[in-house]
């Protein structure tokens, strides 16, 4: 095939690929915010006792919705659907927190909210406060509220028209999706699963106690230093350290020290596999990082930025102390 034909073929393949890539980026079925921004933070009294602060719920997917305990139709529908989302998540249900914020501070006490939300799911949190406390939260999430008196009823007889969207906040506290009332349970579940999977992926690999051995500056040629770290895989799939870089070195290689009947051998290895749930230590006398071509002498107390690249988790930075 001619060079021009190959280029055309390549362009066609790219064009074919583009919709797939775009579809991947816009995989949410609820309304998604791009780029995602931090969800407005708040702290309110909860039906479980104590206070709930949104920014302290990091690590969980938060499903936030608004309503009131006298709500006859809309709120029970939303809460029953969110209970379904949790039950269908099975083992992952514990990683999701449903939060129901009152739009009726006059009648909704924490006790009332406790009785109300627990008929749907014991883990749901009902939040309330004074109008002064709740007002900024309603405003930040664009909740509109209109009180409607019920004709012929008593002084406490009124309904509250309110926005009944479900806000989906990811494990890093970012507002990702706003699903309007009426979004099918399947779609909310779908979006929650995407966020849980992404969170599992992001946090699967953890780097523990990174450090680098001190090294002098050599007068004739650049010297090397060894780097160590413990790699923990908290995910369910194996991963592998495949390469690394350091801000103070020209290159970094992964090496293994082996004792061949008393003779210490150092060998370059292509990767270090970290099985699911395992801790693999890069330590003196075993696997280590070889920082080659140091740009400076490394003395105790200095820090080195290491970037470790994993097959699945990608690049992860660590600040290593020089010892």
- Residues near other proteins, by CB under 8 A: 26, 28-35, 37, 140-144, 146, 163, 165, 178, 180-182, 184, 187
**Cα 138 to the chain's mean position, in Å?**
25
Give the shortest CB-34-to-other proteins separation in angstroms. 5
Considering the complex, state which of residue 32 and residue 54 has its C-beta at the smaller distance from other proteins: 32
Q: For residues 211 and 298, what is the distance between their CA atoms, to the nearest angstrom?
A: 12
Considering the complex, state which of residue 195 and residue 212 has its C-beta at the smaller distance from other proteins: 195
Q: For residues 142 and 148, what is the distance between their CA atoms, to the nearest angstrom?
A: 19
Considering the complex, state which of residue 21 and residue 265 has its C-beta at the smaller distance from other proteins: 21
Give the shortest CB-30-to-other proteins separation in angstroms. 7
Q: Which two tokens stand for residue 109?
A: 């006490």
Helix (H) or strand (E) holding 66: strand 61-67
Give the shortest CB-167-to-other proteins separation in angstroms. 9
Q: Which two tokens stand for residue 169?
A: 């906040």
Q: For residues 313 and 169, what is the distance between their CA atoms, to the nearest angstrom?
A: 22
Q: Quick count: other Cβ atoms within 10 Å of Cβ 76? A: 14
Considering the complex, state which of residue 143 and residue 313 has its C-beta at the smaller distance from other proteins: 143
**Partners of 232 in the β-ladder:** 206, 279
Give the shortest CB-181-to-other proteins separation in angstroms. 8
Residues in the chain: 323
Give the shortest CB-179-to-other proteins separation in angstroms. 8
Considering the complex, state which of residue 104 and residue 121 has its C-beta at the smaller distance from other proteins: 104
Residues with Cβ within 8 Å of 263's Cβ and at least 6 positions away in sequence, in order, are none
Give the shortest CB-307-to-other proteins separation in angstroms. 29
Residue recorded with tokens 């249900």: 93
Considering the complex, state which of residue 48 and residue 145 has its C-beta at the smaller distance from other proteins: 145
- Nearest by Cα to 217 from 257, 253, 248, 251: 248
């Amino acid at each position: 095939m001619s060079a021009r034909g190959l280029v055309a073929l390549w362009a066609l393949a790219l064009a074919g690929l583009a919709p797939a890539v775009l579809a991947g980026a816009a995989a949410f079925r609820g309304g998604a915010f791009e780029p995602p921004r931090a969800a407005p933070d708040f702290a309110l009294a909860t039906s479980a006792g104590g206070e709930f602060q949104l920014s302290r719920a990091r690590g969980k997917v938060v499903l936030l919705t608004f309503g009131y305990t006298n709500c006859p139709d809309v709120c029970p529908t939303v809460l029953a659907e969110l209970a379904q989302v949790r039950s269908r998540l099975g083992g992952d249900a514990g990683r999701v927190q449903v939060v129901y914020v009152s739009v009726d501070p006059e009648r909704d006490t924490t006790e009332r909210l406790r009785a109300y939300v627990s008929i749907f799911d014991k883990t749901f949190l009902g939040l309330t406060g004074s109008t002064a406390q709740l007002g900024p939260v309603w405003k930040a999430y664009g909740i509109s509220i209109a009180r409607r008196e019920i004709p012929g009823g008593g002084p406490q007889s009124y309904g509250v028209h309110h926005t009944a969207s479900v806000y989906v906040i990811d494990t890093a506290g970012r507002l990702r999706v706003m699903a309007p009332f009426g979004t099918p349970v399947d779609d909310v579940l779908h979006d929650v699963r995407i966020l849980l999977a992404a969170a599992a992926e992001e946090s699967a690999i953890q780097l523990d106690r990174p450090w680098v051995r001190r090294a002098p500056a050599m007068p004739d040629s650049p010297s090397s230093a060894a780097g160590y770290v413990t790699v923990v895989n908290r995910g369910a799939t194996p991963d592998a350290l495949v390469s690394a870089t350091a801000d103070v070195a020209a290159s970094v290689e992964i090496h293994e020290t082996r004792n061949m009947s008393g003779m210490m051998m150092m060998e370059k290895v292509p990767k270090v596999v970290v099985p699911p749930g395992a801790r693999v230590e890069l330590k003196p006398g075993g696997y280590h990082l070889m920082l080659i071509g140091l740009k400076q002498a490394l003395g105790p107390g200095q820090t080195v930025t290491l970037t470790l690249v994993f097959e699945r988790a990608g690049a992860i930075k660590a600040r290593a102390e020089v010892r």
